[in-house]
Structure 1
Amino acid sequence: MAQIELTELQKVSGGFDPRSGNWVHRGLDLSKPTELTPAEAEAFIGHYGTQFGTKMGGLDWWIDQNPEVLKRYRLYCSLTLRVEPAVMGGGTLAFYMLMGYVKGTRYVMHSFLNDGLSKAQALEMIAIAFVHAGPRGMETIAEAMQDLDFPETPATPARFPAGWAPDLDAFRSGLDFSTVDLTPDEKSKLYDWYLRTIGEIPPYVRFMAQHRPSLIKTHRARFENMLYHLPKQCWPTAMLYYHVMSRVAEGIRENVLLCKAWGVSKSDTLDVIGNALVYGQMEGATMVQNEAGDIFDGWAE
């Protein structure tokens, strides 16, 4: 039998690809939404125990109550999972941390472990999430991380899309972080970084540089000194994911532009958005259209 080349979707989802005739995902045959066999139910429950380290009682509840709802939900979710596993989850982590969802935070971290993130990379994922999750989110992490250790050097390192790599220099704007004061020259350098990188200056940057310059500078100090081990592309994809998921329109445009500028493909960027719509839902896509529709319209693969 001739070997069939896997699509990108199949590579990261166990062969699942409805267009190629394979409708089985996480143990469920999604081509038969009104039917559920005992073997499917067992496989579905077992999948979450393996990948996430815990059963998903809320999803399992539908197995007994109305499996059609569960299957149609999983088909909707599964069609967004084309990008490499390690790309997904950064925005979810911040969302779950902020909500105090300990179990969800733990299974995201457990999934990172399965995906091959090193301890240094995992800590940087938490650092990205900490930007929005704050102290409340870190309380969630402190509880969720109990007895969950990340290896310094995983046996199988995490996969990232082609071209993704650490690049701390890409973040650097030339600001002097030995002082919190933003000089006129540094303000010019900051504006130049945005114009050079994404082609425009976000409104919050102009506002803060004018009225609270020390805050934009200390924000940049975090931004420019965070990702030593993760690919630079993890920042805009995680931020875009979080903003769509939490329906914060103002964070969408900048991070779509950063994705494009830093080599995230159009397809991967759209898949990040699609996955975030599991919580943001279709209404969230209206925000994306309003904030960044013009970017996607003019974006060739």
Structure 2
Amino acid sequence: MSAVAYADAPQEPRYETIRIPDPQPRDTKIAAQDVSVFYGAKQALHHVSIDIPARAVTAFIGPSGCGKSTFLRCFNRMNDTIENCRVVGTLDMEGDDLNDHSLDVVLLRARVGMVFQKPNPFPKSIYENIAYGPRIHGVSKSKADLDEIIESSLTKAGLWNEVKDRLHEPGTGLSGGQQQRLCIARAIAVSPEVILMDEPCSALDPIATARVEELIRELRENYTIVIVTHSMSQAQRVSDRTAYFHLGYLVEEGPTENIFNDPQEKRTKDYITGVFG
């Protein structure tokens, strides 16, 4: 089965995304409908529609510049920070249109946390890195509440036992893998519903990468996770569903096992088998 071009816009071909359903349907956390992104006159993302399942890991894969990170940033409005960037379409999260500009972006980013490519702890203590979010969002009512949130967040991030005796030391003094887990702990400290991860292991060594991947598998029991990765083996290891992007289009999406073992679209197969990309 090949992608089919629509004839309604000759200057901009529209392609039908191949969708492979889950054997057991999952609840949808975010429903994207006809999402396009423009940087000035340049269109970076074309009419993307996809359902992001709740309490699962969805991986976005594809060559550099294919639009996967651009699409990821739509979920927490990070594209708003880019001059001349315009997002059209609908991103519905349980009744809220995330692209509605009357939506409070600060509150949105508490609901949709993000972990970036390079670990970026604040130049503060480990304790203050985690405490920052709960304080500004009014999550904690007392010092005891805050202490509990910090221990819980670090425990969920698999870091508590490694740092519990040095909470007041700088977060920047941790190893790269520990810093990334600190950033994950910081993201979950405000009890988000969704965690976005943009190449979270690209700056880490194999041992640290394995620990973060193990953490991702643990976190999906309680969070909806969307990860952008250049590593196809990582997508296979950690994700439940995979979406393949090419030249700003969503080409194919479905259960990870199907995408890697039986892709339906030639472009997907060529990328996965290394013919291009």
Q: Same fold (TM over 0.5)?
A: no
The TM-score normalised by the length of structure 1 is 0.33
Q: Specify which structure has the higher proportion of strand.
A: 2
- Name which one, 1 or 2, has greater alpha-carbon Rg: 1
The TM-score normalised by the length of structure 2 is 0.35
Q: Comparing both chains, which one has the higher relative contact order based on Cα–Cα distances under 8 Å and sequence gaps of 6 or more?
A: 2
